[in-house]
Amino acid sequence: DNRWYRATVLDRVSEDSALVGYVDFGNVEHLPVSRLRPIPARMLAFPLQAIQCSLEGVRPASKTWTKEATTKMASLVANKMITVRVITESEGSLMVELLDGSVNPELDIARQLILAGLAVDKEAGVGMDEGSSGALAGTGGELMDDSGAKPGQWTSAELPLGRAVDVSVCMLYSPGEFFCQLCNEKDAKSLTELNRSLGQHCQKGSATQYNPKAGKICCAFFSGDGNWYRAMVMGVEQKGTKVRFMDYGNTEELEAGELCDIPSQLLELPFQAIRCSLTGVKPIGEKWDRDAIIAFQSSVAGVKLKAKAVGKNDNGYRVELVASESGSSVSEALIAEKVAVHDTAQEAGEAGDSHPPRQKPTGRAENISMDGSGDKGPQSTKTHTPKVPDQRETLQASPAPPKEKEACVRTPPREDSPSKTNGPPQGTKMEEAGVARCWTSIELPLHEAAQALVLCVISPDLFYAFPKENRVDVGKLQQTMIEMAAYCSIQSDCQNFRPAVGDACCARFTGDGQWYRAIVLGTSETEAEVAYADYGNTESLPYSSLVAIKESFLDPPVQIIKCRLTGVKPLDAEWIPAATRLLRHILLGCQLTVTAMALQAGVHSVAVEIMKETGALLVQDKLINEGMARQSNSGVNKSQCKERDECCCCQDLRIRVEKMEAILQHLMNELELKAPRN
């Protein structure tokens, strides 16, 4: 089309020509060198849009991918909305699963290639490279000993679908990810004997240098008790090797001298740790917080449990957990403690971790259209790949060996458990603090309903929401981002910045390393929880990834808005903690409707409505009915009523009447459609 695009040189074919890849579209082209130009640094501030991916779980049936395999994959994904699930990153490429949800049941693209005989399962033993040992959770794999011995088969323990069995939780990270063992006296005795044999084997072969590779099964030394256990190598880095203990579920980073090869006879007993997620519940917010994890731990640690598997996917089993003695459901206990909510969707593989999709500040999306409906330009390969950090938050479930150190679990500060705040800023920091607190947001039209997502609740008088409809000037925002990238690249290495909750700042997104405008939702000693002000997603970042924002970067106004709940006031002088907890339980992570009644000092007074199966729920009424608030007419602006020349005693009542009229009109339309015609 004779237009200019950003590109990278993949190969200098000759003195006069080069192979280039268009970094925002993915395709490649041979071009004469005369058609290439240097690119200014400011044109690299906007993230590169094309992401290089590889299909997870499959490899070619022969040495290389055939033309038939490529054609088959194109027929499966072209001109369709495909769900892309990022599994990991490998050698500069994202390893992904592709799912076609346009049919029921949804199609796994990798599985379709295998069924067509054009690919094989990467976890199958035949023809595997050394160390590619197989999968977790009920699948088998073949292991070739380093000595060249005959391959040995290994498996993992499984749960029967639809039948309750006795289990104990041996390791938990959250209700969305934990490991359990079957309560089987025979296997428990066999595991004890096997661990003893592992120790004897490793003591004999301690002088042998072990070569760890990702995916290999080995013996690993656990520092907690000085014993050896079966483990899988999860990753090899310069500072050490990360392994998962396959009979217990926990992970640890070890040195090369703490690993040993494993003979095939010690793989006959299936791996005992079974990966699970709790079905029927999901977190109140975007992810499981510390309160939920501690409540889950207290419900399962040292308790005899019965587990019934209701489904299985690549992330393990989705299970119902019930206390054997009391018969109480663990899921219902979490809901009763208001640290979890019902997950009515029951989507396979996402129970316990589902939440509304969030727009990311990169070109990556959960659902990617391949119908060419996006920006026209060069079409289809190698470019920029954003990092996918592992931010798993862990907590030990029980003292059964081997153990893992307890990790820090972050949560936004609460009224009933205040976090440490910073002292008053000094010198130039005072100016930075003033700018950071004087950010402005978009203005919602008064008395018009808008869809929004609540990101953080401080109290009924202050919470942060992200409207779905974009009202930010995109052109002006892009110019601001370019200037911000240049500014932050200079500032980030020479200042010690500690923002307070509610401050605006510049934040470096781990997904692509670029700088974006953000609002601080919570702080701790080492990091801050931020919400990206123009995109709505949240992330915990070290303070080294934050920079004080300049006043000029706050134009255009940000998409995140400050809100207070209209029509209610506290029972006494201040809001009780229970009112804030209830509001968090109702609002966090939910798609809801907000109607701005007034705008004062940059804060929207809003009526909040959530659609339930039983009808619309007005959140302010819920607080009043629960005895945690009393009615207030503060949401009514009398001057507005006079200016409108209307006899208006309550704007909240006006909103309710309008909504009721809309419902009645809808019902009448339906009745007309169903009425018999002559």
Q: Are residues 183 and 295 in the same domain?
A: yes
The answer to whether residue 259 sits within a structural domain is yes
Distance CA 50, CA 42 (A): 19
The answer to whether residue 162 sits within a structural domain is yes
Q: Are residues 187 and 334 in the same domain?
A: yes
Q: Are residues 192 and 280 in the same domain?
A: yes
Q: Which of the residue ranges 125-139, 187-201, 664-678 would you say has the lowest mean pLDDT? A: 125-139
- Token couple for 481: 């981002």
Question: What's the distance, CA 399 to chain centroid?
Answer: 29
The answer to whether residue 185 sits within a structural domain is yes
Distance CA 661, CA 658 (A): 5
The answer to whether residue 168 sits within a structural domain is yes
Last residue of a domain, one of 509, 541, 558: 558
Distance CA 303, CA 325 (A): 9
> Average pLDDT, stretch 340-356?
52
Q: What is the pLDDT of residues 186-238, one digit of tens each?
A: 888 899 899 999 988 888 765 567 888 888 899 999 877 788 999 999 888 88
Nearest to 164 by CA among 351, 298, 330: 330
* Beta strands in 343-448, from DSSP E residues, in sequence order: 367-369
Last residue of a domain, one of 508, 536, 558: 558
Nearest to 628 by CA among 565, 592, 577: 577
Q: Are residues 180 and 245 in the same domain?
A: yes
The mean pLDDT of the chain is 75
CATH number assigned to the domain comprising residue 498: 2.30.30.140
Q: Are residues 549 and 584 in the same domain?
A: no
Q: Are residues 273 and 191 in the same domain?
A: yes
Nearest to 385 by CA among 51, 87, 7, 55: 51
236 — phi, psi (to 5°)? -120, 120
With cut-offs at 50, 70 and 90, classify the pLDDT of residue 367: very low
Of these ranges, 90-99, 114-123, 428-437, 442-451, the one predicted with the greatest mean pLDDT is 442-451
The answer to whether residue 628 sits within a structural domain is yes
Q: Please say whether the beta carbons of 616 and 659 come within 8 A.
A: yes
Cis peptide bond prior to 356, omega within 30° of 0: no
Which pLDDT does position 121 carry in this prediction? 80
Q: What is the pLDDT of residues 601-649, one digit of tens each?
A: 788 988 888 877 666 778 888 888 888 888 876 444 444 444 444 444 4
Q: What is the strand order of the sheet 217-222 is part of?
A: 251-254, 240-245, 227-237, 217-222, 259-260
Other beta carbons within 10 Å of 641: 16
Q: Are residues 306 and 214 in the same domain?
A: yes
Q: Which of the residue ranges 249-253, 276-280, 302-306, 505-509 would you say has the lowest mean pLDDT? A: 302-306
Q: What is the pLDDT of residues 473-528, one digit of tens each?
A: 888 888 888 888 888 877 755 457 788 888 899 998 888 788 899 999 888 888 88
Is the model's pLDDT at 281 over the cut of 80? Answer: yes
> Average pLDDT, stretch 137-166?
60
Which pLDDT does position 249 carry in this prediction? 92
Q: Are residues 585 and 487 in the same domain?
A: no
Is the model's pLDDT at 276 over the cut of 90? Answer: yes
With cut-offs at 50, 70 and 90, classify the pLDDT of residue 674: low
Of these ranges, 338-342, 381-385, 404-408, the one predicted with the greatest mean pLDDT is 338-342
Q: Could you list the residue range(s) of the whole structural domain that residue 578 is in?
A: 562-665
Is the model's pLDDT at 247 over the cut of 50? Answer: yes
Q: Any residues with CB less than 8 A from the CB of 498 and at least 6 apart, and which?
A: 422, 523, 543
CATH number assigned to the domain comprising residue 569: 2.40.50.90
Cβ burial 589-623 (10 Å sphere, 16+ → b, else e): bbebbbbbbbbeeebbbbbbbeeeeeeeebbbbbb
Q: Any residues with CB less than 8 A from the CB of 357 and at least 6 apart, and which?
A: 366
How far lies 308's CA from each of 160, 163, 276, 344, 665, in Å?
8, 5, 11, 18, 47
Distance CA 360, CA 350 (A): 19
Distance CA 24, CA 22 (A): 6
Q: Any residues with CB less than 8 A from the CB of 509 and at least 6 apart, and which?
A: 360, 361, 362, 515, 516, 532, 539
Q: Are residues 157 and 241 in the same domain?
A: yes
Q: Are residues 545 and 571 in the same domain?
A: no
The proportion of the chain whose per-residue pLDDT surpasses 70, expressed as a percent, equals: 72
Cα angle 509-513-514, degrees, rounded to a multiple of 5:
75
Is the model's pLDDT at 73 over the cut of 70? Answer: yes
Distance CA 622, CA 645 (A): 32
Question: What's the distance, CA 637 to chain centroid?
Answer: 41
The proportion of the chain whose per-residue pLDDT surpasses 90, expressed as a percent, equals: 15
Which pLDDT does position 283 carry in this prediction? 92
* Beta strands in 426-496, from DSSP E residues, in sequence order: 449-459, 462-467
Q: Are residues 256 and 336 in the same domain?
A: yes
Is the model's pLDDT at 7 over the cut of 90? Answer: yes
Which pLDDT does position 407 carry in this prediction? 30
Q: What are residue 99's DSSP bridge partners?
A: 83, 108
Is the model's pLDDT at 551 over the cut of 50? Answer: yes
Q: What is the pLDDT of residues 285-343, one digit of tens each?
A: 888 998 899 889 888 887 889 999 988 877 789 999 998 888 889 999 999 888 999 88
The type of residue at 466 is F
Is the model's pLDDT at 131 over the cut of 60? Answer: no
Q: Which of the residue ranges 61-65, 172-176, 367-371, 637-641 would you say has the lowest mean pLDDT? A: 367-371
Q: Please say whether the beta carbons of 386 and 511 come within 8 A.
A: yes
Cis peptide bond prior to 389, omega within 30° of 0: no
Is the model's pLDDT at 135 over the cut of 50? Answer: no
Which pLDDT does position 211 carry in this prediction? 85
Q: Strand 603-612 relative to strand 615-618: parallel, antiparallel, unpaired?
A: antiparallel
Last residue of a domain, one of 495, 529, 558: 558
The answer to whether residue 579 sits within a structural domain is yes
Q: Are residues 507 and 566 in the same domain?
A: no
Q: Which of the residue ranges 121-125, 400-404, 490-494, 622-626 would you say has the lowest mean pLDDT? A: 400-404
How far lies 261's CA from each of 222, 230, 442, 455, in Å?
15, 10, 60, 48
Which pLDDT does position 391 carry in this prediction? 33
The answer to whether residue 329 sits within a structural domain is yes
The answer to whether residue 313 sits within a structural domain is yes
Is the model's pLDDT at 268 over the cut of 70? Answer: yes
Element (H, E) at 632: none
Domain total of the chain: 3
